[in-house]
């Protein structure tokens, strides 16, 4: 499958071979030690995850159908490699974050559909399961998460707090349902591999600012994004001396934007002329720019792998119809949005920069998934993962270094908000749903009433917009992909290794029935 909008990059910079910017020595090192860290030491890793940012919301990916300009993200993309076929493991938030941090599809857990409530949930990541930060910490990394968690924790209210945090729909919708100051967090990020956490639970509870395992402040939700940006910059500054001395850090920055509530700061309102959502994206882009500037100021840019991506596609709640009327298509040429099984639900921006190691100015059409981070980090450090970890994680290091000459993944499994499955192999994508599997039209119930087939098969090399269902014309492809997905489900893994149990029985042939909205 060819890269999308390949012409947005200079022709001279699209070569798949590594660039020779560091001379013959760097080239020889790359060939002899293709997975080794640079001589300066193991790289720092900064992983930035936007929330509900569409593939077409980044201007370098959508020059023809986009009107929002993202200069810092565009610069990051040009300085590294653009992956045009990158996917979140779900088309909604919580399961994507689970997969990213554990290397395992979240549908193997109790979370078969939807997201965690965020107010007071049992942690979705089981105690003792290996996570990316826990793995890196074993190998000498300092680890921090600054941003939105949304993977569950229990809470203990402080003395004198007789009533729970407000749960009225209006307050939850505006992010004002955070826990009270002094509440203790049980089973949160610092129990799942992170040395340090600073942020909030989710969009509904943004007012409760948490440091490590305590709520330290209640703040207006509109202040969360700028505060997160400043705290992440401060963390980079604080870690600078140790990182320069050889102790690397892993900084996970799951932003709260541009997810609802869409609350651009006053100085950003009106900047885009397209409305609050576009303004919020401009502000998000500026936060990324601040993080990159902080790395440069600390002399860390050359030895830091920076990855930017998003947890799923743009939400229709962002006002996609109004944006399209103004000429901006948040999913670019893709069908669907957040929550859907179609590409717009889970194909996301993905840029990687590591000067001298990740080729600059390159696009890659390698099929990749957020679950691949754990195996990639293990490969980067020359370590093996235990057999009971990263069951759905494949190392992307050859693609990051520009040395991939064949597909790295056998296939990727997609999952929608209502529990619909799809499997992608090569150009073929088979969805086990008659409709969107989510909020898009037609939804599954509507599609059933219209008599649409129970499955959808698309050749994405010829039909990226998923407009022609080929399931009746290609029964052999349907049978092959069906068997492949069944094997992934029953074996408890999609990677080589001993079979592993899923946490619960997994039903994948029929999408779960959508609840009333």
Average pLDDT of the segment spanning 241-250: 97
Least confident range of 50-64, 164-178, 459-473: 164-178
How does strand 208-211 pair with strand 214-218? antiparallel
43-60 exposure pattern, b = at least 16 Cβ within 10 A, e = fewer: bbbbbbbbbbbbbbbbbb
Confidence of residue 1 (pLDDT cuts 50, 70, 90): very low
Q: Tell me, yes or no, if 93 is annotated catalytic.
A: yes
**Number of residues in the chain:** 517
Among 150, 346, 414, 415, the active-site one is 150
Domain boundaries, the chain: 40-400, 412-491
Average pLDDT of the segment spanning 434-442: 97
Q: What is the model's pLDDT at position 391?
A: 98
CB 343 within 8 A of CB 1: no
CATH number corresponding to 40-400: 3.40.720.10
- Better pLDDT: 2 or 230: 230
CB 457 within 8 A of CB 485: no
Token code pair at residue 209: 């600012």
Q: What is the model's pLDDT at position 162?
A: 56
Q: In this predicted model, what pLDDT tens digit does every residue of 323-382 receive, in sequence order?
A: 999 999 999 999 999 999 999 999 999 999 999 999 999 999 999 999 999 999 999 999
Q: In this predicted model, what pLDDT tens digit does every residue of 395-422 receive, in sequence order?
A: 999 999 999 999 999 999 999 999 999 9
User: Residue 88: pLDDT above 60?
Assistant: yes
Among 93, 200, 314, 369, the active-site one is 93
User: Residue 11: pLDDT above 80?
Assistant: no
Q: What is the model's pLDDT at position 164?
A: 58
CB 510 within 8 A of CB 418: no
Q: What is the model's pLDDT at position 33?
A: 33
CATH number corresponding to 412-491: 3.30.1120.10
Beta partners for 148? 200
* SS3 state at 75: helix
Distance separating the N- and C-terminal Cα atoms of the chain = 37
Average pLDDT of the segment spanning 113-136: 94
User: Residue 55: pLDDT above 60?
Assistant: yes
Confidence of residue 299 (pLDDT cuts 50, 70, 90): very high
Average pLDDT of the segment spanning 384-405: 97
- Distance (Å, whole) CA 509 – CA 507: 6
Token code pair at residue 9: 């990059």
Q: In this predicted model, what pLDDT tens digit does every residue of 441-470 receive, in sequence order?
A: 999 999 999 999 999 999 999 999 999 999
Q: What is the model's pLDDT at position 172?
A: 80
Q: What is the model's pLDDT at position 159?
A: 86
Mean pLDDT of the chain: 90
pLDDT > 70 in the chain, percent: 89
Average pLDDT of the segment spanning 386-392: 97
């Amino acid at each position: 499958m060819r890269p999308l909008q390949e012409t947005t990059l200079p022709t001279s910079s699209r070569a798949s071979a590594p660039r020779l910017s560091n001379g013959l020595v760097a080239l020889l090192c790359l060939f002899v030690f293709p997975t080794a860290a640079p001589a300066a030491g193991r790289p720092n890793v900064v992983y930035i995850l936007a929330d509900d940012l569409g593939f077409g919301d980044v201007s370098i990916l959508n020059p023809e159908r986009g009107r929002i300009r993202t200069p810092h993200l565009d610069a990051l993309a040009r300085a590294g490699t653009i992956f045009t076929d990158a996917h979140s493991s779900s088309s909604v938030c919580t399961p994507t974050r689970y997969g990213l941090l554990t290397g395992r599809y979240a549908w193997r857990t109790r979370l078969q559909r939807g997201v965690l409530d965020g107010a007071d949930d049992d942690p979705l990541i089981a105690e003792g399961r290996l996570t990316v930060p826990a793995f890196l910490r074993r190998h000498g990394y300092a680890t921090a998460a600054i941003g939105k968690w949304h993977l569950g924790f229990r809470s203990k209210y402080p003395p004198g707090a007789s009533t729970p945090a407000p749960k009225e729909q209006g307050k939850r919708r505006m992010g004002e349902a955070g826990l009270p100051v002094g509440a203790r967090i049980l089973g949160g990020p610092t129990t799942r591999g992170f040395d340090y956490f600073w942020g909030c639970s989710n969009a509904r509870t943004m007012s409760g600012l948490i440091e490590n395992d305590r709520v330290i402040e209640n703040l207006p939700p509109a202040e969360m994004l700028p505060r997160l940006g400043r705290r992440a910059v401060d963390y980079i500054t604080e870690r600078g001396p140790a990182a320069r001395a050889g102790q690397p850090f892993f900084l996970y920055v799951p932003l709260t934007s541009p997810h609802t509530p869409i609350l651009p700061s006053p100085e950003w309102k009106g900047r885009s002329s397209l409305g609050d959502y576009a303004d919020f994206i401009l502000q998000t882009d500026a936060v990324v720019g601040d993080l990159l500037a902080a790395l440069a100021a600390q002399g860390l840019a050359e030895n830091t792998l920076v990855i930017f991506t998003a947890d799923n596609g743009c939400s229709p709640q962002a006002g996609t119809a109004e944006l399209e009327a103004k000429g901006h298509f948040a999913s670019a040429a893709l069908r669907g949005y957040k929550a859907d099984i179609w590409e717009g639900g889970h194909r996301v921006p993905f840029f990687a920069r590591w000067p001298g190691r990740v080729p600059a100015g390159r696009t890659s059409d390698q099929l990749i998934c957020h679950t691949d981070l754990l195996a990639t980090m293990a490969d980067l450090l020359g370590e093996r993962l235990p057999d009971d970890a990263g069951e759905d994680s494949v190392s992307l290091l050859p693609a990051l270094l520009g040395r991939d000459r064949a597909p790295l993944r056998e296939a990727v499994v997609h999952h929608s908000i209502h529990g619909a499955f799809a499997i992608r192999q090569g150009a073929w994508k088979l969805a086990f749903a008659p409709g969107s599997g989510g909020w898009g039209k037609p939804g599954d119930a509507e599609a059933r009433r219209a008599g649409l087939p129970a499955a959808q098969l698309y050749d994405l090399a010829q039909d990226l917009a998923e407009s022609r269902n080929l399931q009746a014309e290609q029964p052999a492809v349907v049978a092959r992909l069906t068997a492949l997905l069944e094997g992934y489900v029953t074996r408890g893994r999609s990677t080589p290794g001993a079979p592993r149990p899923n946490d619960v029985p997994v039903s994948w042939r029929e999408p779960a029935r959508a609840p009333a909205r």
